[in-house]
Structure formats: structure tokens, C-alpha cells
Amino acid sequence: MIAQSSSRTLFFFEKPSAMRQLQRFFKSPSTVCVSAEGHLLAAEEPGNVRDEWKSWRLDTLPIVLDRIPVTYGTNRSGQSHKPKIEAIKQALQGVERVIIATDPGREGSMIAWEVLEHLGYRGRVDRLKLGALDEVSIRRAFAAMAKEPDSGERDYAAYLEALCRQYEDYHLGLNGTRAISLRLRPPAFRQPWRFGGVQTPTLAILADLEKRIRDFVPQDYFKIALTVATDGRAEITLWHAPKDKILDKQVAETIQQAAASWSGPLGVEQKDVRRAPPRLFSKDTLARRCAKRFGWDPQHTAKLAQELYDQGYLTYPRTESEHLPESQTGDASAVIASVVGRLTDLASLVPAASNLVFRKGNKGHYVKDPGEHHAIVPLRKVPQPGSISGEHLRLWELVAKSFLAAHLADGIDARTTVAVQVPTQLGPKRFSVSGSVIKSPGWRAVYGAEADEENEAVPGKAKPDEEPTTGRLPLIRDNEPGKATNARIETAKTEPPRRITRGELPVVMGRLVDQVEDPKLKAALENPANPNEPKGLGTAATRDTILPKLHKSQYVELLKGNTRSWNS
């Protein structure tokens, strides 16, 4: 039990589920708990502030307010939050200290502070940052709060930051929506044309991509296959398929003719290739994986992850980071023991605690400072059979396997490459083929056949040509003589960029650097302090809400799981 002083203390939670997780710690009658349901206050409509703002006219723009007036919000059933705010007002009577225990982050801070300010509370405020709701994490959060006497002041600064973001979004959306609706909307459209600081640039990305797809004209390009027989009676096909595609057939024919008469030694290179496990999950990458694996909408994934967090099975899910703090390496063995206690078929893969792998730095899984919230990982508390739904269990297993894989050895492939240099009128041309066999599965044993899914293509880009590969190659010695038996030209067509799927869109918004080619733009979007988290649109907490807004406004349509612009 967490000791409390005799003075009256109020804990302010974001949701009743989180409140229930912590109430079992509080035995003192001087402790009061209240919970919100998200934001209890909402921005007032401009027409309710001034009569002249009720009608949409250009001569009233721009509408600028020093402070956004608020009114009582409503829940999903349309019921006013006024009774809940009145109940919080009553609970605050005689309270000397408020501990804000909403979800960590600016929005969580705002949910509590906006109510406290609305009700005129002037007492002491502290901030309890609950990155997870298991018992160990809760006790650590209280210990951290005790060491930070100014946690309330710091949290108020986070609230002011959220307030500034709300102020910007409110004025951009209000004035932009009225302006483009009055100036640009065709008469046939009855609904307003929505404008927003995040949704409008996101729409621009989709519209630009759709234009490039529609304007795309496929081109033929050429690859040359060279079949070689060796003195040892082995036969192998090598390829000349450079990254800079051969678009001129005469060039391809010149190379093919030279290859047809080639003879000489074959170069054979053998090496071990190490394959590190994938990164841990952020909210956006988890949404992408679940959309690909299970067909879930990002908002559905977010809902499931939030519920698993509320029940103490996962850490805080609305995170940008794919890293853990180095200070948490000591937790790994206990968490993994709990995970394989539930996923018993994976227990044999776990080495002794001293042999767990801790990859540090930006290319690994542990860094000194992962940001405001670290990656989504499992906790010591694991779901028991029948305690959660099948969808919750699938999501938990996905995160649990990711955490386990992150602490296992690299996979090792034995890779063999056979190559020759063919003299041509255009200079020497390299023909090659590679083959790989698994030497040691390492972390991939966690996933089995699903391990290949861990490689994700860049959304909105054409699928790149893959290097010619095969499984096992025939046994060929280095410098073994060979002779061409056939050389042929294969024709392929360039492909347009792929449309962005709904599961990929949050990742695209968070990683704009992947969508631009201009070096100056790339440099402007990079984050030197943390290369894995470049500049993007919106936040992890809200990106999954943008597509539904665009779809509702009929700016985009969904085609077989793909996103495309509605009218561009």
C-alpha cells in the first residue's frame, strides 16, 4: 500500500479503467479518485461567441480570439459532460493536493489541467507519469514523482504546449475551412470543405501520389540472363540487372551478344550475413503491422492497445519511439520469463539471462533517452487463458514476440555469390546470382515462416527490383572455368508508385523524409538528435484519426484496403 498523508488528496485519472487499477493501492480515507472520459470540455462555436460569426462570410475573416472559450463536451452517446465536471467540482472541496494520473503526454496533461483551471483550483498539483499499469511500474512512477518536487510545474508547461497546439489548430481549421468553402467549393457541394494543419498536408501527399500514379507511363527495360556450364558439369544462370535500368534495347543486345560468347573463370564469394531483429513497435509501426497481418484499421489497433495498457498488459501505446531506455535492461529477463510462461512453445528459445542480447544505440533497441515515451513492450503481467478476447491476445502476442526477438541473437545466413565479368563494347559488365541458406535462425525462430514479413517496403514508392537470388546454388569452386551456353534478354516494365494503404498512412505522416527526393528537403526533415524519429505531421496519438476525417469529407476513398485521393 502506498502511504498517504492526512491532508486530502485527489487523484485525477483519464479513464475509469486506469482508476480501478490504482484504487487498490489507496486505503486512506483522505484519498479521493475521479476520472474523465477524454476531454470533458470542448471549444465553443464562434457563432456562440459573437452573432456576426454565425454566418459564413469572407468579410468576417480572419476570426481571431485571445483565448478559446470552452463549453461542456459530450460523450459518444451525445450526453453532456456537465454532470461529471460538477462531480469533480464537489470532489475538489477541501482538497489540498491534486495528483494528475492521466495518460502520459501533452494531451493527458491537458485533460486534467483544463478542468482544474475551469473550476478555479489553486492548490498543489503533482504529476504521476504512468508509462504502464502493472504493480512494478506503478511503484516506480510514485518513486519518480517523489524525487521531482516540481513535477506539477513541469506538467503545467506541457499543458500550455498542448494549449498552444489547440489554439493553432482551432484558428487554422476555423478560418481555413470557412475561406476555402466560400472561395473554392463548387456550388454542387453542400458540405463544408474542411481544412486543417495536419489533414490538409496529408491530403496533399495523397493527391500528389495519385497524380504521379495517373500520369505514370510504363517503360520497357531489359535484363540479360547468362547461362553458364562449368567443367564440373554444373549449370547456373547469372543476371545483369543494374540498379540504373537498361532502357535502350540496343544496349541490351550489345551486352547479350558479348555474353553469348563468354568463357572464363567464375568468381565465388562465400560469407556469413548477420540479420539483426527488427525494431520494437511504436504506435504507427504497430498499426502498420496489424493492418498487414490482421487487416485491422489503425484506430481499431489503437483501441485494442489502449485497452491492453489499461489492463496492465502493455506499456503506454501512444508513442513515437521504437527504443527502450538503457535503464530498463535489468527488467528484460523477468519480462521474458513471464512471456514464455504464457507462450510456452517459445520457452526453449530463451537463453540464460546472462546470454540475452542488449543492442544499444540508434540502430539497436536501447538508448539513453528514448523520448517522452518508450517503445510498446509487454510487462510482467501476462494475460491468462480466457481473460481477454482473441483480438487482444493476437495483439499482445505480436508485441511479446517482438520484445523476445529483440533480445535474441542475430540470425546468420550463409550467402554464396557467383559472378563473372563479361567484356563488351560498352565496358565490362557484371553478371551475378546469389544464394542463401539459414546457418543459424537466431531471433527468427520466434516467428518461423512469418519472419520474412518483418521487412517493410517504403509506402508510396514503386516496388524496387530485387537482387537476383535463389536458394542453394550448385557446388562451384572459386575460379572454376565456365562457358556460356545461352544468353537471352528479358523484358520487364517499370511500375508506378504504390498507393498508400490505410495501415501505412500514419507511418507516412510520421516519416515525411521518406517521401521526398530533394536533398535540401530531406535535410530539413531529418532529426540529427534522433535519426529514427524525423519530423512529421501530427503526433502518434492523433495520426490514426486523420484518414477517417478525410474519408468523411469525401476527400479520399478506400479501394481494397488502399488509400487514394478522391478528386485530384
190 versus 115: the higher-pLDDT residue is 115
Residue with the bigger pLDDT between 251 and 458: it is 251
In the predicted structure, residue 4 carries a pLDDT above the cut 60:
no
Q: What integer is the mean pLDDT of 219-227?
A: 97
Q: Answer yes or no: is pLDDT of 2 > 50.
A: no
Residue 2 maps to a domain:
no
pLDDT at res. 517: 87
- 76-122 pLDDT, tens digit per residue, is 889 999 999 999 999 999 999 999 999 988 999 999 999 999 999 99
Q: Is residue 252 part of a domain?
A: yes
pLDDT at 565: 45
Same domain, 133 and 153: yes
49: pLDDT strictly greater than 60: yes
**CATH code where residue 160 lies:** 3.40.50.140
* Interatomic CA distance for residues 58 and 226, integer angstroms: 69
**Residue 267 counted as domain residue:** yes
> For residue 430, is it within any domain?
yes
Q: Which of 391, 406, 421 is the last residue of a domain?
A: 406
C-alpha–C-alpha distance, residues 492 and 265, integer Å:
30
**Using one digit for the tens of pLDDT, what is the confidence trace for 476-510?**
999 999 999 999 999 999 999 999 999 999 999 99
CA-CA distance, 400 to 532, in Å (whole number)?
22
Cβ-in-10-Å burial (0-12, 13-18, 19+) of 343 comes to: middle
Determine contact, residues 464/427, Cβ cutoff 8 Å.
Answer: no
Average pLDDT in the chain: 91
CATH number at residue 262: 2.70.20.10
Q: Note down the domain range covering 320.
A: 283-406
**Do 327 and 418 share a structural domain?**
no
CATH number of the domain at 289, please.
1.10.290.10
- For residue 74, give the 3-state DSSP assignment: strand
Task: Pick the more confident residue, 4 or 432.
Answer: 432
Q: CA–CA separation, 266 vs 420, rounded Å?
A: 5
In this predicted model, what pLDDT tens digit does every residue of 12-33 receive, in sequence order?
A: 999 888 898 888 888 778 899 9
Residues 16 and 59 reside in one and the same domain: yes
What is the model's pTM?
A: 0.90
- The SS3 call for residue 103 is coil
In the chain, what percentage of residues exceed pLDDT 70?
95
CA distance 59 to 184: 16
Task: Quickly state the pLDDT bin for 40 (edges 50, 70, 90).
Answer: very high
Give the residue from 196, 192, 194 showing the smallest Cα distance to 171. Answer: 196
Higher pLDDT, 273 or 187: 273
Burial code (b: 16+ CB inside 10 Å, e: under 16) for 473-498 equals beebeeebebebeebebeeeeeeebb
Number of domains in the chain: 4
pLDDT in tens, 503-530: 999 999 999 998 888 999 999 998 887 7
Q: Which range has the top average pLDDT, 20-24, 308-312, 418-422?
A: 418-422
Q: Are 166 and 26 in a shared domain?
A: yes
